[in-house]
Every structure is written in C-alpha cells, then in structure tokens.
C-alpha cells in the first residue's frame, strides 16, 4: 500500500493531477482532515468530498508543488502509517534555493483494505506555511489562485470543508492577549 501511495504521489507531482492519481486510493467512506489553526479544522467525509475538496479545491495553485516523503513508519499490527514529508514550491529564490515550507509536515493514515486508506490526518506548521506564502508574495511568486483564496479568506469567506472547532475568543479577548504580549515585550512582565 505504501509503495503504491508513494508512486501515485510522485505521479501526481509529475502530472499536477492529484484527483486522478490519488482519489481512488481512498475508501468510499474515508475521512481526510487537517488542522487550520486553533479554531478551525478541514474535514472531508467520503471519497467524493476528498476528491472535490482536499485534492481539488484545496490543491488549486499547488499542482506543481512537490511533497517528497523523507521517512515512513508502518505499524502493521494496527494498520497505520505515518509519513513525514516536505512542501516544496515549483519556483526558486533569486539565490537558486527552493522555496520550501520550513520543517516537516506529515500524514497519519489508517489502512482500509483493498489498497485504500479509510482515514488520513495531515499535520504541518501553519506558521511556517504562512511565512513562506508571505515570502512568495513579496517576491511576486505566489500563484494567482492562491492569491484569490487569500483574498476570499480575508473577506470572511469559508473554504469547502473548513469547520469551527472549540470556541474562538472574541475581539475583546484577542485584544487583551495582544496587549499582554506587547507589555511583555516592552516591559518584560
């Protein structure tokens, strides 16, 4: 299963078509999720939502990105796999180094039989992703569809599959936290 997955992942990178190469690798009732910050989670339930949202809408603008796996851990007893990968943009900095999200990301999978996953949860450092997007934007290298998505998010639009988790603090609580951090920086207390 892991070898098939890695091969399909490399083919997706080569062709820029995540749905075609990875969609059938999920059971009909699979779930795919990732955290989007302290108060939001992306969740796709069922192969159709995974294809439409996770591999479709959310991969728009990332068709040419590379996600090489650096290490894979397999628990055959539980049918679970953890793979650690990187996120590498298809463009290079002026000095020739690749734009890449700092640190590692990863995916935790559960095997569902018949060479398909029935559950996947991705994890990555959202702060490092945002920092790279800011660098790409500053250098004029941010994909137009990613720019459009950022603009829509700034207007308060929700992305497909994104749902609230927990309770988001109100404006007053956020301002109080910001002032407390500014006091720590300025006064050390």
The total of structural domains in the chain comes to 1
Q: What's the CATH code of the domain at 98?
A: 3.10.450.50
Closest CA relative to residue 121, chosen from 136, 132, 110, 134: 110
The DSSP secondary structure of 23-71, one letter per residue, reads: GGGEEEEEEEEEE-STTEEEEEESHHHIIIIITTGGGTT-TT-B--EEE
Q: What is the pTM of this model?
A: 0.87
Residue 14 structural domain: 2-187
- pLDDT 10s digits, 73-119: 999 999 999 999 999 999 999 999 999 999 889 999 999 999 999 99
Confidence bin at 169 (pLDDT 50/70/90): confident
């Amino acid at each position: 299963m892991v070898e098939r997955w890695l091969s399909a992942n490399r083919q997706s990178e080569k062709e820029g078509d995540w749905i075609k190469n990875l969609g059938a690798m999920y059971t009909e009732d699979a779930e795919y999720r990732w955290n989007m910050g302290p108060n939001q989670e992306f969740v796709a339930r069922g192969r159709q939502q995974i294809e439409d949202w996770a591999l479709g809408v959310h991969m728009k603008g990332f068709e040419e990105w590379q996600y090489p796996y650096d290490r894979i851990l397999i628990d055959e007893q539980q049918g679970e796999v953890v793979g650690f990968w990187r996120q590498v943009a298809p463009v290079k900095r002026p000095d020739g180094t690749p734009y890449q999200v700092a640190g590692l990301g990863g995916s935790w999978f559960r095997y569902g039989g018949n060479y398909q996953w029935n559950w996947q949860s991705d994890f990555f450092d959202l702060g490092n992703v945002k920092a790279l997007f800011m660098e790409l934007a500053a250098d004029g290298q941010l994909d137009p569809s990613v720019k459009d998505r950022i603009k829509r998010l700034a207007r308060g639009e929700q992305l497909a599959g994104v749902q609230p988790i927990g309770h988001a603090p109100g404006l007053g609580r956020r301002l109080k936290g910001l002032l407390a951090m500014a006091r720590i920086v300025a006064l050390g207390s």
